[in-house]
Structures are given as structure tokens and as C-alpha cells.
Structure 1
């Protein structure tokens, strides 16, 4: 996954639709949170086993919501000047240090 390419494509959509004025860090964080809530809603009343065996339409829906979340986070990182790949790698390294046995 080339995050720079994805971000550039998102910026093209944003700029074509004149949405930059709405893409403050606050608004993008809130939008990502709303999309996360939509993902959670898919699993809301499922048991543990059911949540691991989503029917194809629900699995597709979950994938769409994951995509929405990632795209909003890419835009948020862009607005804040955060290198997503760098912070994800740093967090993973920290988790490996803290939780590996």
C-alpha cells in the first residue's frame, strides 16, 4: 500500500469537490469516529462466533467501513503533518517491546 499515492488521490477528490475547508483535524477525527461507530454497529448484537463468520454482504459492508476509517485517518495525518507509516511502525515496535514474551 503506497500511502503517499492514496493521500494524493484523496486530495484530488477533496480539491475537486472543494471540501478542504471542511477537513480540519477536528472534523476528520469526528468523521473517522462516526465511521468506526458504523463498523461497530455491524457487530452490535452478534455473539463471538457469529462475529467471526459474517455473511458475505456483512463482510463487504465491514470492509467498506474499514476503508472509510483508513481514508479519514490518512486525511487527518495529512492535515497534521503526521507520517502514518512512521507512527504505525513506531507503535508496533513499542507493542512488540511491551507485549512479547
Structure 2
């Protein structure tokens, strides 16, 4: 039976005995650093098509961000499914379809 992706990330960490280095502060810093590397791929791109040639780099950096997010959630005993489900429920309340469909305004700016 194949491991799910979260189990695989945690196994990769545990096989290398890296859990000892993974405290919430350093993992949060790592998320921010990797997100900055992701953002760098978009710097000076005038239009979306210019980033298409950077798709591989973008995927690599996005993967790094997601991996660190998994590690931070694990270090804090946070269930990823639960927090995403909860956040989606809150967003559904803030962004009612009938008020925000096709509209990019923040929920506080919607009528």
C-alpha cells in the first residue's frame, strides 16, 4: 500500500532524524523563506505567459512551501484537514456566493 503524501513527508524527515531540528519558529521561518523564493519567480514578469517558462522552478518552490507547512502542522499537532475545513467554513460565511461571485473585493468591502 502506497503512503499518502503527508506520511511520505514525515517519513523522509524521520528517516534522517531531523525532527529534532523542526521547532515551530524555525519551520515558520522556513515557510517564509521558501515563499520568498517562490515569489522571486514572478519578479519582473509583466504578464502571466512570461512565468510559464519558469513552471519547473515555481513547482519546486511551491513544493518546498507545502512540505514545510506539513512539517509545521505536525510539530504543533495540527490536523491539516481540520484547519482547512474550518477556514473554508469561515470563508464561506465571509464570501457569500451571491455577494462575491466574480468580484475580487475583500469581504469587508462587499455590500
Q: TM-score range by the shorter chain?
A: 0.7 to 0.9
CA distance in 1, matches of 2:4, 2:25: 24
Say what the alpha-carbon RMSD is for the aligned residues.
1.5
Q: Structure 2-normalised TM-score?
A: 0.77
CA distance in 2, matches of 1:90, 1:12: 27
**Higher helix content, 1 or 2:** 1
Q: Verify: 1:55 aligned to 2:29, yes or no.
A: no
Q: How many residues are aligned here? A: 94
Measured against aligned partners, the alpha-carbon deviations of 1:1-60 in whole angstroms (never above 9, x if no partner) come to: xxx83222122211221211111111111111111000110111122xx2x22233x011
Structure 2 residues without counterparts, runs of 5 or longer = 100-111
Residue of structure 2 in register with 1:38 after alignment: 37
Off by >4 Å, runs of 4+ in structure 1: none
Select 2:61's aligned residue among 54, 57, 65: 65
Q: Structure 1-normalised TM-score?
A: 0.83
Give the match's secondary structure for 1:44.
coil
Flag the structure with more relative contact order, 1 or 2, with Cα contacts below 8 A and sequence separation at least 6: 1
- CA radius of gyration, larger in: 2
Residue of structure 2 in register with 1:21 after alignment: 20
Structure 1 residues without counterparts, runs of 5 or longer = none
**Is the Cα–Cα contact under 8 Å of residues 7 and 78 in structure 1 kept in the other structure?**
no
